Structure 1
Amino acid sequence: MDFRDAKIEDIKQMQLVRNSVKENKLSDPNLIKDEDYEAFLTNKGKGWVCEIKGQIVGFAVIDTVENNVWALFVAPRYEDQGIGKQLHNMMLNWYFQQTKTPVWLGTAPNTRAEKFYRLAEWKEVGKHGKNEIKFEMTYDQWMNS
């Protein structure tokens, strides 16, 4: 497994991972365009990938403009191998080196993602959108976790 910064050339494979997930599926895979990824990787944030034998199997992207986790996905056949946790930790370590502003995310209730974020000590702070739970991580929480 190779963890590294995401590059523009990785977007096609990142899209494949995003569209392969079983939970938090997009109602329309065309909702998120390559240009959206590019914006986050170049001027709205930063991304990381996990690559195995030249294939991206997981990725994370953080939005430093809106201070939220834009994406954290692992291809289903690579779940439960610590990839999501490693990407999560890389992302938050980098984020809190840039700012002490709390970061937030939204995810559907009763999902693996909800359990993942609770185990990672994110705090539920309300609702996001129609049906998502809003979680937040502060600088102090992250430094003390």
Structure 2
Amino acid sequence: MIREACINDIPQIQRVRNAVKENTLSDPGLVTDMDCEEFITQRGKGWVYEMSGRVVGFSIADLREYNIWALFVLPEFEKKGVGKQLHDVMLDWYFMQTAQTVWLGTAPGTRAEAFYRKAGWEECGTHGKGEIRFEMTIAKWSLVKRR
């Protein structure tokens, strides 16, 4: 169900990204197909969760900026373990590539905020326009994985 994302997945990745109810883009044109291609082929790697040929979630890690660029799941597949599985595969890969602390930003008061807290991410300030900045160290990830 989870596999590495490829360029042919970008249209479905974009559909998932634009279907979410939280952390929506003010302008869907802000994240282009070229951006997605660069992140999954040059800057890092991406994964898709596929069911019957349909991408229902995806995640993308960025090794240049040491951050999680994206982790999104179609609303009808939330709370079914899709996001957690994508998250874990992505962080396992990330920390096999580097020991550098990884960070991400998400809006406060969202399910995403609760998800990252439960997954062991530590709040360390703000990012962008009022987003919460979370970080995960390799040491913390290895402890979280043992639970």
Interval containing the TM-score (normalised by the shorter chain): over 0.9
Distance 1:130 1:71 in 2: 17
1:125 equivalent to 2:124? Answer yes
**CA RMSD of the aligned region, Å?**
0.4
**1:1-145 → structure 2 map (5 Å cutoff):** 2-145=1-144
Report the secondary structure of 1:106's partner residue.
strand
Distance 1:133 1:116 in 2: 13
TM-score, scaled relative to structure 1: 0.98
Distance 1:14 1:118 in 2: 25
Distance 2:122 2:77 in 1: 26
How many residues end up aligned between the 2 structures?
A: 144
TM-score, scaled relative to structure 2: 0.97
CA deviation map 1:46-75 (0-9, x unaligned) = 000000100000000000000000000000
Residue type matched to 1:83 in 2? Answer: V
Residue type matched to 2:116 in 1? Answer: Y
Residue type matched to 1:59 in 2? Answer: F
Unmatched segments (≥5 aa) in structure 1: none
Residue type matched to 2:136 in 1? Answer: M
Among the aligned pairs, what percent are the same residue? Answer: 59
CA deviation map 1:65-124 (0-9, x unaligned) = 000000000000111110000000000000000110000000000000000000001000
Report the secondary structure of 2:19's partner residue.
coil
Residue type matched to 2:23 in 1? Answer: N
Unmatched segments (≥5 aa) in structure 2: none
Distance 2:124 2:41 in 1: 29
Residue type matched to 1:95 in 2? Answer: Y
Residue type matched to 2:51 in 1? Answer: I
Q: Which ranges of 4 or more aligned residues in structure 1 deviate by more than 6 Å? A: none
Report the secondary structure of 1:121's partner residue.
coil
